[in-house]
Structure 1
């Protein structure tokens, strides 16, 4: 745990100044501190607070310690990079099908025929066509497709 210095902590009519405590958790605008090792608090005061207090980040001297990256943030970052890798692979896979879709679209009359020829769903064919600006047949399974789509 990181040790930080607190400038001022007020609770009721009591005030504590310039004491050290262990950093437990960071919140958006405050931090939770472990005060069992701190000499500024008496045993009774420590028991009343359950050895923990919440202090505003403004009252902490070591700004880097309270603004540091949390473990949960690191996890979110690694998950996001993993998702970006997956989406990049999917984009490459769609690019592989784009040429075949363009060729099939020029030869087929309906969207369903294009999908059957490629071996993929009509939704996939539409998504790839939108992404690579491929013009698809306007007829879908023998019925005129709605112009708004």
Structure 2
């Protein structure tokens, strides 16, 4: 059996725009745009789905004609390696009415939740020395966007 998971993101009528947004942020690729055929509740030619690839993951944006409400219970995590990458993804995803959240979380302009948590964060938080791991956790809890040098300093000074 060859199974794969493809996340579907629901939109009232912004599927193609959202797909293009994610493709631009992640230097991805728009793979396919399908439209509603004649005889469906939506006007023929209206975008049904926009399938795209970002960071090696295929995703589909679907216009379903109703408002979509995203919750924090599902999010996409990005693990940048440098502060420059953290800053880039953070700023790009909160641009145009996105919202900052605590501890590396944010919502983009479509309401989709993301975690921009550099790869060093879980590595330092899982240190076998509980004082070091706790210091990193405490530093992170005070942040919105993660600042790698501050996380590293908390670890080094514990």
Regarding TM over 0.5, the answer is no
Alignment TM-score, normalising by the size of structure 1: 0.20
Higher relative contact order, chain-length normalized (CA < 8 Å, sep 6+): 2
Alignment TM-score, normalising by the size of structure 2: 0.19
- If each structure's helix is expressed as a fraction of its own residues, which one has the higher value? 1
Larger Rg: 1
